[in-house]
Amino acid sequence: MSIHPFLEWLEATPVGVMIKESAWGFPITVAVHIMGIMLSVGTLVWFDLRLLGVSMTGYRASLMYKRLAPWMVTGFAVMFVTGLMLVTAYATAAYSNLYFRIKVSAMVLAAINAFVYHRYTERRIALWDESAAPPKGARVAGLLSICVWATVIVAGRIMSYTMF
């Protein structure tokens, strides 16, 4: 069964048509999408640097997460909602774009990395919460997060150059 009828249906939804055909729908949605990336990745990187033991080592890792999480989550929510809206409008072109696939794969990897960190590494946070040099598992999670989100950003920009 082909996925193309579904993609065409997505593009014909009111959201897809609004973004594609209104003068300001696309630029405003992309601008909000980029602002969401800056808010989410811009704050997440500070927690990642703490996990790496590179910055803010005088603060407990759990406190860093607690204080930054609302900003990260808000940014990710904005990024995902506007991202879905943009994909809805250009579903067919996005589906066949290599960089869109790289971006989505990197986001899945970021989700798996976050899951593994919260499920396993964070469980023993009491042992290293105040340590300036977190354990290997935490450092790997921080480094992987930075690399994966950098990939998301670069692939996203290349996608916008190659898709239209």
Partner 1 sequence: MASFFAWLESTRVALAVRDTLLLNAGLSGVHLIGFALTTGGALVANLNLLGVLFPGRPPIEVTRPASRGIALGLLISGATGVFLFAPRATAASVNGIFQLKMALLVTAVLFHVFVHRRVARATRHVHLSGPSAVAWSQTTQRATAIVGLLLWTGLALSGCAFILLE
Give residues in contact with partner 1 (CB under 8 A). 26-27, 30-31, 34-35, 37-39, 41-46, 49, 55-56, 58-59, 63, 67-68, 71, 150, 153-158, 160-162
CB of 48 to partner 1, least distance (A): 11
By CB atoms closer than 10 A (0-12, 13-18, 19+), residue 161 is exposed
Three-state SS string over 84-139 comes to HHHHHHCHHHHHCCHHHHHHHHHHHHHHHHHHHHHHCHHHHHHHHCCCCCCCHHHH
3-class secondary structure, 13: coil
Cβ closest to partner 1, residue 14 vs residue 58: 58
What is the distance of C-alpha 38 from the center of its chain? 10
Cβ closest to partner 1, residue 49 vs residue 104: 49
Which phi and psi angles does 131 have, rounded to 5°?
-75, 140
CB of 64 to partner 1, least distance (A): 9
CB of 8 to partner 1, least distance (A): 26
Cβ closest to partner 1, residue 72 vs residue 87: 72
CB of 32 to partner 1, least distance (A): 9
Cβ closest to partner 1, residue 7 vs residue 145: 145
Which phi and psi angles does 123 have, rounded to 5°?
-60, -35
Cβ closest to partner 1, residue 125 vs residue 154: 154
The two structure tokens encoding residue 128: 């290293």
CB of 9 to partner 1, least distance (A): 27
